[in-house]
Amino acid sequence: MFYVYVLKSQKDRKYYTGYTKSIRERFKKHNTGGVTSTKHRVNLELVYLEGSLNEFDSIRREKFLKSGRGKVFLKKRLKYWYKESSEK
């Protein structure tokens, strides 16, 4: 399986979208500073995850979620999570 995921930084509240074959290893790598693009934003939380049987589908989905329409989709999809998150 391949996974597309979205992480949220507890430090600066920004999001990171990526894809991987091993979500556990990749998430651990992100939170230990092993990924260049997120090493200064450690304490990341997994907020969204999709699985796919095909790597190409995951790559396409990652590109979509990084686009303007993809960000709108995520905001609608995570509507209640955003609401709870902002109340904390």
pTM of the model: 0.86
> How many domains would you assign to the chain?
1
Summarised one tens digit per residue, pLDDT across range 10-23 is 998 899 999 999 99
CATH for 28: 3.40.1440
The confidence score (pLDDT) of residue 80 equals 72
The confidence score (pLDDT) of residue 23 equals 95
Please check the confidence at residue 32 and state whether its pLDDT lies above 80: yes
Q: Which domain holds residue 43?
A: 2-87
Q: Are 2 and 20 in contact (CB under 8 A)?
A: yes
Please check the confidence at residue 77 and state whether its pLDDT lies above 70: yes
Q: What is the mean pLDDT of the chain?
A: 90
List C-alpha distances in Å: 8 to 3, 42, 55, 56: 16, 10, 23, 24
